[in-house]
């Protein structure tokens, strides 16, 4: 992971100095890192006594982020031209306006992007810190906080540790080049973040129905590409039966990738009559972000996602076709 430079810190501070008010936002259907990074930025703004709103279109479906929903509003309020000229938009954990969802009029606002996704690219006129070597956007926020504010408060350490743990699968996704990440982590723990309690917070409290849904998804799983690819899915009827609250795809991916010979796992969900979402996970050298980008999605080398129009029965063969090009 790269360490944020003084030049990058000064760039962000200059953006803060040049605006009176701020909108903080991140991708729709937020995960722990998006929530963590949004709130982490708000702590920096509080330190500099800058007014802000944290905006996210939701939904806040994941159990572990529910408690933070009250800190967010769902859309940008109406602003006069003068207000818009004085307002800076800070986007975290994504870089495309289209991924923000229905949050109101974000077009034309001076924008600063902080992200770690490999497929990210700042749009025209946006200033950015984009570092795919960082395992979580919250790591980038932590470094900016330490550079601009100083020592971490327990409150800041807790929320930033939350984002780091959720995006790294509680460090399961890190490799041998992650020493600097653990140095950041050590400072979070020194400031009061509790690994034991955080693990329970992230992994516990799931509705019983989600365990039933997990079993249903596993029953649909099939192997392709000489057994190297596993695809599972969830129908609309199954979603209706078991509900959306607390769905736990991570445990499904763990189960599928733990199978002997499996190098990639895909979970496809029929969200509406005419649209699907899909998550991609892989081992080692299989870059699923390339496959996700083929369908208009993106993410990381070993963890990506997408959404598109279509039906399960048509989308799954297309996914198999793309994976057959890389799983030989």
pLDDT digits (tens, 9 = 90+) for 136-160: 999 999 999 999 999 999 999 999 9
Residues of CATH 3.90.1640.10 domain(s) within the chain? Answer: 6-201
On the question of pLDDT at 244 being above 70, the answer is no
Scanning the structure block, which residue is given the tokens 């004085």? 86
Q: What are the φ and ψ backbone dihedral angles of 233, each rounded to 5 degrees?
A: -150, 170
Q: What is the mean pLDDT of residues 116-142?
A: 87
pLDDT at 209: 87
- Residue with the bigger pLDDT between 199 and 96: it is 199
pLDDT of residue 251: 87
Specify the pLDDT at position 125: 77
pLDDT in tens, 45-70: 999 999 999 999 999 988 899 999 99
Q: Is residue 80 scored above 80 in pLDDT?
A: yes
Q: What is the mean pLDDT of the chain?
A: 93
Q: Which two tokens stand for residue 124?
A: 């025209």
The CATH number of the domain covering residues in 6-201: 3.90.1640.10
- pLDDT exceeds cutoff 80 at 118: no
Give per-residue pLDDT as tens, 187-217: 999 999 999 999 999 888 888 888 899 999 9
Beta carbons of 283 and 257 less than 8 angstroms apart: yes
Beta strand 127-130 with 110-115 is: parallel
pLDDT at 120: 60
- Specify the pLDDT at position 247: 61
At 119, the pLDDT band (50, 70, 90 cuts) reads low
Residue 250 pLDDT greater than 60, yes or no: yes
Across-strand partners of 72? none
How does pLDDT run across 172-181, given as a tens digit for each residue? 889 899 999 9
Across 271-281, average pLDDT? 94
Q: Region 29-43: what's the mean pLDDT?
A: 97
SS3 annotation, the chain: CCCCCHHHHHHHHHHHHCCCEEEEEECCCCCHHHHHHHHHHHHHHHHCCCCEEEECCCCCCCHHHHHHHHHCECCCCCCCHHHHHCEEEEEECCCCHHHHCCCCCCCCCEEEEEECCCCCCCCCCCEEEECCCCCCHHHHHHHHHHHHCCCCCHHHHHHHHHHHHHHCCCCCCCCCCCHHHHHHHHHHHHCCCCHHHHHHHHHCCCCHHHHHHHHHHHHHCEEECCCCEEEEEECHHHHHHHCCCCCCHHHHHHHHHCCCCCCEEEEEEEEECCEEEEEEEECCCCCHHHHHHHCCCEECCCEEEEEEECCHHHHHHHHHHHHCCCCC
At 299, the pLDDT band (50, 70, 90 cuts) reads confident
**pLDDT exceeds 80 at position 44:** yes
Q: Identify the pLDDT of residue 205.
A: 81
CATH architecture assignment, domain 208-323 = Roll (3.10)
| CATH 3.10.310.30-classified regions of the chain | 208-323
Rounded Cα–Cα distance for residues 32 and 236 (Å): 25
- Residues 6 or more apart in contact with residue 81 via CB below 8 angstroms: none
What is the rounded average pLDDT of the residues 96-110?
90
pLDDT cut 70: percent of the chain above it: 97
Mean pLDDT of 14-30: 97
């Amino acid at each position: 992971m790269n360490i944020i430079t003084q030049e990058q810190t000064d760039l962000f501070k200059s953006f803060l100095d040049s605006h009176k008010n701020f909108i903080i936002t991140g991708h729709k259907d937020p995960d722990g890192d998006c929530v963590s990074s949004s709130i982490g930025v708000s702590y920096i703004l509080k330190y500099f006594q800058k007014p802000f709103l944290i905006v996210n279109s939701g939904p806040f479906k994941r159990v572990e982020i529910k408690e933070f929903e009250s800190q967010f509003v769902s859309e940008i309020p109406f602003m006069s031209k003068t207000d818009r000229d004085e307002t800076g938009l800070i986007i975290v954990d994504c870089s495309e306006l289209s991924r923000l969802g229905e949050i109101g009029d974000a077009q034309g606002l001076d924008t600063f992007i902080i992200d770690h996704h490999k497929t990210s690219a700042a749009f025209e006129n946006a200033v950015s810190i984009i570092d795919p070597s960082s395992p979580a956007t919250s790591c980038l926020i932590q470094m900016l906080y330490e550079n601009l504010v100083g020592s971490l408060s327990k409150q800041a350490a807790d929320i930033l540790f939350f984002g780091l743990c959720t995006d790294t699968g509680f460090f399961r996704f890190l490799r041998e080049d992650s020493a600097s990440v653990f140095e950041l982590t050590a400072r979070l723990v020194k400031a009061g973040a509790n690994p034991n309690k955080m693990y329970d917070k992230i992994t516990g409290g799931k509705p019983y129905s989600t365990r039933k849904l997990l079993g249903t998804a596993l029953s649909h799983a099939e192997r392709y590409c000489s057994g190297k690819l596993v695809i599972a899915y969830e129908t609309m009827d199954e979603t209706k039966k078991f509900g959306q609250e607390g769905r736990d795809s991570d445990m499904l991916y763990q189960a599928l990738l733990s199978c002997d010979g499996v190098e990639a796992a895909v979970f496809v969900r029929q969200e509406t009559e005419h649209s699907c979402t899909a998550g991609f996970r892989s081992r080692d050298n299989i870059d699923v972000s390339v496959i996700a980008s083929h369908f208009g999605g993106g993410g990381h080398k070993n963890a990506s996602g997408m959404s598109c129009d279509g039906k399960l029965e048509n989308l799954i063969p297309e996914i198999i076709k793309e994976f057959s090009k890389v799983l030989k």
